[in-house]
Amino acid sequence: MNAWSKRFGSMLVALAVACTFGAGSALADEKDRPPAPKEGVPAVGAEGASKIAENLLGVQSTEYLKVWRSSINQLSGTKVRLSGSTDTYDDVNLIEVHLYLQYWNEGASRWDDISGPHIFSKTSSSKVSGSVDITLSSGYYYRTKAVHRATSNAETEQQVSFTDYIYIE
């Protein structure tokens, strides 16, 4: 057996062990969680979530805003990074992205802002982006809300994006 075959076989064994034992602990952890939010979409995968909201031809017509994005990524344990960006077709007087951290308020059955706005802006530009790192409390569902704005000739255009939600153990 060559070295590559041995490594590949070892990886398959490790994967089988992880799937066997990891699945059981994941199911146990989910039993301890509060009920999932009634609004929004759960993130796929163990680490973080990302949601992209884009202007799709024929679906959303905007004069200034071209692409708007937001994300939430779990960096470690209870630390996450909120990120957002706004792009316009051409330079505008003011371009902004406002980031908010939201948590699922189970008692009120709604998403509530608990941090923000974290404002990132540029003048005479067609792109702006920003991010902020936040340490969270365990036992809750979180997501990012981003408000994207472009102002040109005293006219403001705005779109809002939301990420999928994540649960912080």
What mean pLDDT do residues 134-160 have?
96
Tell me the HSE value of 80 on the side-chain side, using a 13 A CA sphere. Answer: 31
Domain boundaries, the chain: 49-168
pLDDT at 98: 98
Burial class (CB in 10 A: 0-12, 13-18, 19+), 91: middle
Share of the chain above pLDDT 90, in %: 62
- pLDDT of 26 over the 90 cut: no
C-beta of residue 165 within 8 angstroms of C-beta of residue 49: yes
pLDDT digits (tens, 9 = 90+) for 37-70: 888 888 765 455 554 443 333 346 789 999 999 9
pLDDT at 71: 93
What mean pLDDT do residues 119-136 have?
98
At the topology level of CATH, where does 49-168 sit?
A: Immunoglobulin-like (2.60.40)
pLDDT at 10: 43
pLDDT at 39: 83
Rounded-to-integer distance, Cα 147 and Cα 98, Å:
5
Q: What's the longest Cα–Cα distance across the chain? A: 72
Question: Any residues with CB less than 8 A from the CB of 167 and at least 6 apart, and which?
Answer: 33, 140, 141, 142
Kindly write down the DSSP assignment for every residue of 79-111, as one continuous string.
EEEEEEEEEEEEEEEEEEEEEEEEEEETTTTEE
pLDDT at 35: 86
- pLDDT of 19 over the 50 cut: no
What mean pLDDT do residues 63-79 have?
93
pLDDT bucket at 95, cuts 50 / 70 / 90: very high
6-20, 37-51, 63-77, 78-92: segment of lowest average pLDDT: 6-20
